Amino acid sequence: MAFWITLGRSFFALILGVALLFWPDKSLAMLGNFMGGFWIAGSLLSIRWGFAQEKSKALPVAVGILGLVGGLVLVSRRFVDNVVGPELLFVFIGAVAILTGLLHMDGRIPVHKRPIFRRTRSGVLLGIFEIVLGLILLFTPWQDRVLINYVALAWALIGSVVLFTDALAMRREAKDGTSD
């Protein structure tokens, strides 16, 4: 199941990248919808893997809950826009992106279930782009759609490649019998 979810996340990231390339005027709405769905799917996996681990359950579950809350806020932003303005929403998205980027770089968010968490090149690369995206969202006025669009475009395209290679690695491990 993790293979299919990761593969699906890869294709969604690719679709987001293509959409950002051809429809940059809709980039903020697409980015919010995509990141919300992306975080919800990844968070559910993180929570599941956290409870499946014999040791160190707290971090994956905590990250999963944070990402789940972030994703739900993003996909329901039409309801919270009157309460929370777009500036605060961008600060929230940026902070969650930086946190998940740092954890991806550290290797403590499992890309797929492994007995030991370890840093991977794909996790570090994805983490770097998440941190850059988060910093830009934090420190760039939310009206500067051009810069946000370019960074989101790079994050989506590189993220799709990273997730696709991770999905292939999961498939290989499943065939070799080294992962469930």
Burial class (CB in 10 A: 0-12, 13-18, 19+), 150: middle
The CA-based angle 52-58-63, given to 5 degrees, is 95
Buried/exposed code over 18-28 (b: 16+ C-beta within 10 A; e: otherwise): ebbeeebeebb
pLDDT at 55: 66
Taking 70 as the pLDDT cut, the residues of the chain under it are 1-2, 27-28, 53-56, 81, 107-120, 142-143, 145, 177-180
Task: Tell me the domain boundaries of the chain.
Answer: 2-176
The secondary structure element, H or E, covering residue 3 is helix 2-22
C-alpha 4: how far from its chain's center? Answer: 16
Q: What tens digit of pLDDT does each residue of 117-139 get?
A: 455 677 787 788 888 888 888 88
Residues 43, 60 contacting (CB under 8 angstroms):
no
Rg (CA), the chain: 16
Phi, psi of 113 (to 5 degrees): -65, 125
pLDDT at 142: 64
pLDDT at 25: 75
Greatest alpha-carbon pair distance for the chain in Å reads 52
pLDDT at 56: 65
- Helical pair 86-106 and 58-75, crossing angle rounded to 10 deg: 150
pLDDT at 27: 67
pLDDT at 180: 44
Task: Write the class of the CATH domain 2-176.
Answer: mainly alpha
Q: Mention every residue, 6+ apart, whose C-beta is less than 8 A from residue 158.
A: 125, 126, 129
What residue type is assigned to position 50 of the chain?
Answer: G
Q: What tens digit of pLDDT does each residue of 156-177 get?
A: 888 888 888 888 887 887 787 6
User: pTM for this one?
Assistant: 0.67
The secondary structure element, H or E, covering residue 72 is helix 58-75
Residue with the two structure tokens 């590189």? 158
